[in-house]
Amino acid sequence: MTAVTTPTRPPRGTSETPDTPAWARWANDHRKWLFAAPAMVFVAALIIFPLAWTGYLSLTDAEGSVRAESEFVGFQNYVEVLSDTDRFWPAVARTAAFTVVALLFEVVLGMAVALLLWRPFRGQKWVRVAILMPLVATPVAVGMMWRLIFDPNIGLANQALGWIGIGPQPWLAGQHSALPTTIFIDVWQWTPMVVLILLAGLTSLSDEPQEAARIDGASAWQRFRHVTLPLVMPTVIVAILLRGIDALKTFDILYATKGRGGGSFHEVETLNVYAYGLSFDYNEYGISSTVLIIFFLIIIGSMWALTSRRKEAQR
């Protein structure tokens, strides 16, 4: 008679010893989702479900109290919002102007500073520390700081203009100068972000193409334009992508410097500020949800356009 020893369980890989408890074995086999599920559930509960609800609210006439009854009105809000040339379209124009102008300055200045910091030199560490400071400063505090500096009567900005013989400017208080001034603040705070990203990109490049171009007698500008820039282009697009998303959604400095509705003439009322005001200053939940859905589509659209550019640049 042959004694048949049946294994208590079929071997499941090399890693399990027979004394592993059953629950541990189960956990091990299902670790992929066991690890990912809590975060995914959180995201679903707090992001996907609310987003779907915003989509639903945009089709209703919800307003006033959050407990009030609301009725389904179809695409009426969309018609209303898209034909609103008083607040909605000016807000779209301001959002576009703010984002495009701020990005332009941030990328050009950011590239210039990143190129200056590219090659190691003494004291570089301290410059990098200085660059980090605006970046981590609390945006609301930054807004308040610039409010003092740009104050038409007591601010440093007008004092400095006085030293070089230029008359005082209204800055944030002016109907036409407020938006450019907030763009300046955004450039001050976020150009450092572009510098850090581009610097990471530049540092990862190999020296050989540069050296080859130098030996071939290319000037500094030619080397930048035809060697460095094409190589670092994917990183430039990442910087534009990351910064662009945040610039489109800028809220803190606009609300801190101009308050509700982007100032008394809505001078700095971007889509985000407009939607916030509709929701929490006027409780127009239906209309605000419509604005937000359109805003969301604008963001997704711009991102998609940029990522396809990035794929081209990498080729």
Partner 1 sequence: MRSRPAYRVFRVVALTIVVIALLAPLLWMVAASFKTNVDIYDTGKALVFSPTLDNYANVLEQANYVQFIGNSLWVAFAATALSLVLGIPAAYSMSRFNMKKSALVVLMARVIPGVSLLVPWYYVFSNLKMVGGFTVLILSHMFVSLPLVVYIMMGYFDSLPLELEEAALVDGLTHIGAFRKITLPLSIPGVATAGILSFIFSWNNFMFALVLSGADTKTLPVAIFDFVGYASIDWGGLMAAASVVTLPIMLIALFVQKYVVSGLTAGATKG
Footprint of partner 1 on residues 174-203 (CB under 8 A)? 188, 192-193, 196-197, 199-201
By CB under 8 A, the residues from 252 to 311 that bind partner 1 are: 252, 255-256, 259, 272, 275-276, 279-280, 285, 288-289, 292-293, 295-296, 299-300, 303
Binding residue count for partner 1, defined by CB under 8 A: 103
42 contributes a contact to partner 1 by CB under 8 A = yes
Instruction: Report the distance separating Cα 114 and Cα 195, nearest Å.
Output: 5
Say if residues 253 and 189 touch (Cβ distance below 8 Å): yes
Q: Among residues 180 and 234, whose Cβ is nearest to partner 1?
A: 234
Q: Contact with partner 1 (CB under 8 A): which of 93, 104, 108, 148?
A: 148
315 contributes a contact to partner 1 by CB under 8 A = no
To partner 1, the closest distance from the beta carbon of 79 in angstroms equals: 20
Instruction: Report the distance separating Cα 184 and Cα 170, nearest Å.
Output: 14
53 contributes a contact to partner 1 by CB under 8 A = yes
Q: From the CB of residue 92, how many other CB atoms can be counted at a distance below 10 Å?
A: 17
To partner 1, the closest distance from the beta carbon of 200 in angstroms equals: 4
Say if residues 298 and 248 touch (Cβ distance below 8 Å): yes
By CB under 8 A, the residues from 109 to 128 that bind partner 1 are: 112-113, 116-117, 119, 121, 126-128
Q: Contact with partner 1 (CB under 8 A): which of 231, 242, 306, 313?
A: 242
212 contributes a contact to partner 1 by CB under 8 A = no
Say if residues 230 and 58 touch (Cβ distance below 8 Å): no
Nearest to 115 by CA among 192, 199, 187, 190: 199
To partner 1, the closest distance from the beta carbon of 144 in angstroms equals: 5
